[in-house]
Amino acid sequence: MEKKIVQRSQNALKWGLMTVIASAFLLSANQSGAAMGDSFTDANFKYTILTEEGTAGTVSVAKQSTAIPSGAVAIPDSVTNGSITYSVTGIEYNAFSNCSGLTDITIPDSVVSIEIYAFRDCTSLKIIEVSQANITYTAENGVLFTEDMTSLLCYPAGKEGEEYVIPESVTIIASGAFYSCSNLTRIVIPAGVNDISASKILGCSNLTDIEVSQENKDYTSIDGVLFTENKASLVLYPTGKKSEMYTIPSSVTNIRFYAFDGCSHLANIVIPNSVNEIEMGGFRYCTSLTNIVIPDSITYIDWAVFEYCTSLTNVTIPDSVTEIDWSAFRNCESLTKITIPENVKEISDSAFSQTPLSKVYFKGDAPEVGVEVFTSDPILYYIEGASGWTSPTWNGYRTEIWGPEEPLALSFEVKEGKLILTYSGGSLQASSDLILWNPVEGALEGKYEVDLPATGKLFYRVAQ
C-alpha cells in the first residue's frame, strides 16, 4: 500500500514537471512571437524588431517622431534593449524622410535591406557613406548603390553639383532615387539602364536636361525630354524647363504616369491625335496650364491626370471618352464650367472635388457617379429626354434642363481700324497657328472688338 502511494507521488511529480516545462515553453514562444513588429527607442532612433531568438535578434531602424536627426549621423550596427542585443539589418520605408537638417549619414556593415524613399526629402543631405565591410551596399562620391554598382538607390537631395553622370555599370534606377534633387540641372543616363519612370526622377525642380547614351537600346531623349527608344512613349518632361509651350511629337501614343508632374512653367501643351493613353497623374501640378484639348483618340481619363492644375480655365473633353476616373480634375481652382460628352458612362470619386464648378453640362444620359464627384454645389444641366436624370435634384446635386444648343455662328467686320466679331453658340477662342486655341479674355457676350494687328496672323473660332 505504501509502495503504491510512493508511485503515485512520482507520477504526480513527473506530470507536474512536464506541465511546468510545457507551460514555460509556450510562454517563451508567445513572448517571442508577440515581440515581432514591436518597437523601442534609444536616444537617437526608433527600432522595429524583425527577429528574436534567445538573447539575440535583428531590427530595422528609422527616425523617432520626437527626435529628428540632424547634422552628421551614424546608424549603429547593433543596439541592446533589456537583455537582448539586436543587429541593425534594415532601414525602413520613409525611415528618414523630411529630415531637413540631416547632412551626412553613415550606414553600418550590418545593414542588408534599405527600403525605397528611406531618405526622401532630406533636402540638406549631401553625403551617404557605407561601411567598407558591408557586402550588400556601397557608396561612390556620396551616392548610394548596391554593392555591385548595378543599382543606383539614392542620390542625396542636397548634394552639390548641377550635373550627374550615372556610372556605366548601372542598369537599374530605384524608385525615388532622384527625389527633390533641386541642385541638379542635367542627368546623363548610360547605355545599360533599361527601366526608367518619373517616380525615379521626381520633384527635381531645376532639372532641364535628361541625356541618354546613344548606345542605350531602351530610351532616348529629344531636347532634354525622355522617351522610349521608339519615341512611342513620353516618359518624363524635366520640371525645370522654362518653356511655356510644348507640342508633343506625333510619334507618341502613350504619356507615362507623372510624365509632366510639377511642370509649373508650361501654360500650353498640344496633345496630338496619335496619343491614345494618358496614364495616372500625367499632367498633375502643371500649375500654369490654362487650356487643354484632349484628343478624340482618348477614351479614358485616368486617376489624377489634371489634379492641381490650378490655372486651368478651359477643358475640351472629346466624345470618345467613356470614363473619368478618381480625382481626374481635383483642385483645378480656376475651372468654373465644363461639358461632359454623351458617351461618358462613369465618373469616379472626387473627379472634380475642390474644383469651383458652377455649371456642368451633360450631353447624354445620367452616368454612374462615385462619392464627392462635385463639391462646389454646381448646377448639372441635362438635355430634355436624356434618361436617368431627375429634377430638381439628382444624387443630391441641383439639376436643370439644358435647352437645345444654339448653332455656332461667327461673323466679322472691319471698321475704323478695328476688327469687330459677332458670335453665338459658344465661347470665342483665338490661335496663331490653328493648333493651340485659347479663350479670348475680355470678350463680351456675343461681341468682341480688337485693334487690327500691324503684322502677323491671328485666327478666331467659336467653340462649345
Q: Indicate the class that CATH gives domain 260-266+276-404.
A: alpha beta
| Residue 455, C-beta contacts closer than 8 angstroms, at least 6 positions apart | none
User: Which candidate, 76, 67, 181, places its Cα nearest to that of 122?
Assistant: 181
Task: Decide: 181 and 162 in contact? Cβ < 8 Å.
Answer: no
Tell the burial category of 113 from Cβ atoms under 10 Å away from its Cβ (0-12, 13-18, 19+): middle
CB burial class (10 A; 0-12, 13-18, 19+) of residue 88? buried
Identify the band that residue 364 occupies on the pLDDT scale cut at 50, 70 and 90: very high
Residue 252 vs residue 420, higher pLDDT: 252
pLDDT at position 456, please?
Answer: 67
Q: Would you say residue 459 has pLDDT above 60?
A: yes
Q: Residue 17: pLDDT above 60?
A: no
pLDDT at 36 over 90: no
Tell me the pairing of strands 418-424 and 409-415: antiparallel
pLDDT(114) > 90? yes
Which of 128, 110, 239 is closest to 177 using CA atoms? 128
pLDDT mean across residues, the chain: 88
